[in-house]
Amino acid sequence: MAERRKLAAGNWKMNGTAADMAEIETLAQERSDATCEVLVCPPATLLERLARACEGGPVVVGGQDCHAEEKGAHTGDVSAAMLKDAGASYVILGHSERRQDHGETNEIVRAKTKAAWDAGLTAVICVGETLSEREASNTLDLISGQLAGSIPDKANGHNLVVAYEPVWAIGTGKVPTTDQIGEVHSMIRAKLEKRFGEGVGRSVRILYGGSVKPDNAAEIFAVSHVDGALVGGASLKAKDFGGIIAAL
Ligand code: PEP
C-alpha cells in the first residue's frame, strides 16, 4: 500500500485580514511534496485571495465549514460549491467550536460532508472528547459514536481526513500524552478499517490537533497512525507553522 501523505493543516479560525497575507507568502516557500502536503484554512473572506496567491505553489487552501445544502435561503452561510468556486480543495467539518457554538450534531456533520463530497472537496472531519468525557472514561465510546455518526458511506483516502482533537487540548497549551494520542488514533484506524475495508481504512489520514507547536510536533508525529496535524494558533505565524511542517 502507498504511504499516506503527511498533512499539516492550518485552521485560522476567525483570524486574518488582507494584512496577514504576508504570512502566506512566507509559507508558500514551505515544503510540500509527494510525502507531505500543506493546507491553510483561512476565514471565508480570504479564501479566494489566498487561493489565488497559492496557485501553482505547494500550499492548498480550504474552508472552515460549509452548509449542507447546495444553495438557498440561509443568510450568512456558505455552500460547499461556493468554497470550491473560491479555490478550496478541502473543508474542515465538525470542529468542536462548531459542535459547541452552533449545536452541530453528528447528523449535521454527516450531511455537510455529503455536500462537500458532491462539490468535490475533501472533508477534514473533527472528533474529540471534552475533559469531563475523558475523566468519565468515555473517550473511546464517544469518538466511536462521532465517527459512526459523522462519516457518510463511501469514504475513502481521497475524500476523507479524520482529525482527532481533544476539546480540552484546543488552545489551552495542554497536550495528551503520546500514549493517549496513540490509543485514540489506533482505535480510529481500526474503526475505519472495519467499516470501509482494510485498504480504504489504511489510506485515510488521521491528524492530531490540540496545542501542536514546533517544539512538540516531532514527538506527536512519531506516534503510530498520526499522519500530521490540524493546527490552530500556531498556524497564524509562518515561522511557527513552518516549524511544525519541518517536523512532519
Ligand atoms: C484547532 O482549533 O483545531 C486547534 C487545534 O487549535 P490549537 O492548535 O490552537 O490548539
Please tell me which residue, 24 or 36, carries the higher pLDDT value.
Answer: 36
Residue nearest to atom 7 of ligand 1 (CA): 232
- 1: in domain: no
Q: Which three cell numbers stand for residue 203?
A: 489510506
Q: Which of 18-27, 47-56, 66-75, 135-144 has the lowest mean pLDDT?
A: 18-27
- Read off the CATH number of the domain in which 214 is found: 3.20.20.70
Assess: ipTM above 0.95.
yes
Q: What's the pLDDT at 33?
A: 62
Q: What's the pLDDT at 19?
A: 87
Q: Which atom of ligand 1 is nearest to the CA of 212?
A: 8
Structural domain containing residue 19: 6-247
Cβ < 6 A, ligand 1 pocket: 11, 165, 170-171, 209-212, 230-234
Distance between CA atoms of 216 and 227, rounded to whole angstroms?
Answer: 15
Catalytic residue among 30, 97, 104, 165: 165
12 is in an annotated binding site: yes
- Band (pLDDT 50/70/90 cuts) for residue 31 is low
pLDDT at position 35 over 90? no
% of residues, the chain, pLDDT over 70: 95
- 25: in domain: yes
Q: What's the pLDDT at 187?
A: 98
The answer to whether the beta carbons of residues 86 and 111 sit under 8 Å apart is no
Q: What is the pLDDT of residues 41-86, one digit of tens each?
A: 999 999 999 999 888 888 899 999 999 999 999 999 999 999 999 9
Distance between CA atoms of 100 and 241, rounded to whole angstroms?
Answer: 26
Q: Which atom of ligand 1 is nearest to the CA of 126?
A: 3
Q: What is the pLDDT of residues 158-172, one digit of tens each?
A: 999 999 999 999 999
The answer to whether the beta carbons of residues 28 and 56 sit under 8 Å apart is no
Q: Residue 207: beta bridge partners?
A: 163
- 133: in domain: yes
CA distance readout (Å), 5 to 76, 105, 177, 196: 34, 29, 24, 19
Burial class of residue 62 in the structure, from the number of CB atoms within 10 Å of its CB (0-12 exposed, 13-18 middle, 19+ buried): buried
Distance between CA atoms of 130 and 52, rounded to whole angstroms?
Answer: 37
- 145: in domain: yes
171 is in an annotated binding site: yes
Mean pLDDT of 84-105: 98
Residue nearest to atom 3 of ligand 1 (CA): 232
Mean pLDDT of 12-19: 92
Distance between CA atoms of 214 and 190, rounded to whole angstroms?
Answer: 29
The answer to whether the beta carbons of residues 220 and 178 sit under 8 Å apart is yes
Tally of domains in the chain: 1
Distance between CA atoms of 239 and 208, rounded to whole angstroms?
Answer: 20
